[in-house]
Chain A
């Protein structure tokens, strides 16, 4: 799946490390999600949605 994580992160001026810290995951995980190499599980997707305060569908979308 594709996502707007990089855009959302840039809007808040967060680095990958910053986002990783907020999600309690590694920076590699954030990088892998952003580049589409890894799709997060539902709990992590919900965590992202809560963090950015937007619906999951506003972050992730089908190709």
Chain B
């Protein structure tokens, strides 16, 4: 994900990647568990609210990891690439959500659960960063 994935990552990049991956795994795990609990456990409103907060915590964690990385990264070009990748991820996520939102109004199609937005954002941002790194290799 970060510059020269096949080569040595800086300690900051390695640590940030690990924390990013950890938070993403938490999001997936908590989302799946929450979904199962909601469908089979029929929780009360209070419990549902607590679950919603629980799922949001690793999302905040991801933003904190990214923010911390951008603050501490000394290579300004890499900082620029990461920022651009995040913007691409945000843009693509909004495009997908907008399209799905409009289509759902007219057709009874399956809608992407909002809880998957963060996964979509992270995946698209990572792909965008890889593309930018590949382009900057030349």
Contacts and interface: CB of A to CB of B under 8 A. Distances in A.
Interface of A: 24-29, 31-33, 37-38, 40-41, 44
A7 B3 CA distance: 25
Given A28-B133, A31-B136, A44 B76 contact: yes
B77 A25 contact: yes
Q: Is the interface of B mostly helix, strand, loop or mixed?
A: helix
B4 interface: yes
Given A24-B74, A25-B75, A28-B78, 8 more contacts: A25-B78, A26-B77, A27-B4, A28-B4, A29-B77, A31-B137, A32-B136, A38-B77
Q: Which 5 A-B pairs have the closest CB atoms?
A: A29-B77, A28-B136, A25-B75, A26-B3, A32-B77
Contacts of A28: 3-4, 77-78, 81, 133, 136-137
Contacts, number: 37
B75 A29 contact: yes
Interface of B: 3-4, 74-78, 80-81, 133, 136-138
Nearest to A31: B136
Nearest to A43: B76
Contacts of A32: 77, 136
A40 B76 contact: yes
Contacts of A40: 76
Contacts of B75: 24-26, 29
Nearest to A33: B77
Contacts of B74: 24-25
